[in-house]
Structure 1
């Protein structure tokens, strides 16, 4: 598997799983019903951020975006998100993308990485981030309206770099 910078030419491969994951209503608070052009604006980062794809055998298996968590005086803390095509789950794609977020953030000089909204019922993501040294700082109760579970908490997670 190769992880490389995403290009506009990758978007048609990213959008189907982006849309499926968002519409499932379990992990991301992006608006529902986004067109491809609208979704691209939410996912494809411009500098100083970065968007990458995980590719194997010419197929995009997942994508991650990363960059400063806040502008200005908060820009020394990074953030990131990733999505794995459901057809590629269980192949280590998420862990590889998470590692890329951490290593890029460290190399870019961020002091830490903060995730503002990790859905508490997204057990796979919470487990992965904890295994990579992130801690849950707080949970905002009932901050996410899960399609399957109703209102559940959103974790604020952090890792010092």
Structure 2
């Protein structure tokens, strides 16, 4: 059972979106996960933070015990800093886990927060 939310401004312009869901099924279904997209032209305006705060509140309200992000690209320093400021920790980094279109193979963080 997942959920998708969309961030819009006063004119109805879509700024970004988040999809929340269990990270795994069965015995690991008490851990939430989420995916995010923010329109690059609205980066740095708090859209990601608002979506992140919403997703964390949703996970707590749904009774999840933690949230895990399976794939945060290490060169996306804005996202890494945002998630750390919201209480996530880098649990490990998969070396060369992501093929970046201009930087080549870069690390892929797994980030976690107990709720």
Same fold (TM over 0.5): yes
How many pairs does the alignment contain? 114
State the Cα deviation string for residues 47-102 of structure 1 (Å, max 9, x = none). x1000000112111110001100011110000001111112222210100011110
The 3-state SS of whatever aligns with 1:156 is strand
In structure 2, the partner of 1:140 is 94
- Confirm whether residue 90 of structure 1 aligns to residue 44 of structure 2: yes
Higher helix share: 1
Superposition RMSD in Å: 0.7
Q: Any gaps of 5 or more consecutive residues in structure 1?
A: 1-47
Counterpart CA distance in 2 for 1:91 and 1:54 is 12
Q: Any gaps of 5 or more consecutive residues in structure 2?
A: none
Matches within 5 A, 1:14-93: 48-56=1-9, 57-93=11-47
State the Cα deviation string for residues 91-114 of structure 1 (Å, max 9, x = none). 210100011110001101100000
Counterpart CA distance in 2 for 1:141 and 1:90 is 27
Alignment equivalent of 1:117, drawn from 55, 68, 71? 71
Counterpart CA distance in 1 for 2:69 and 2:92 is 11
TM-score where L is the length of structure 1: 0.69
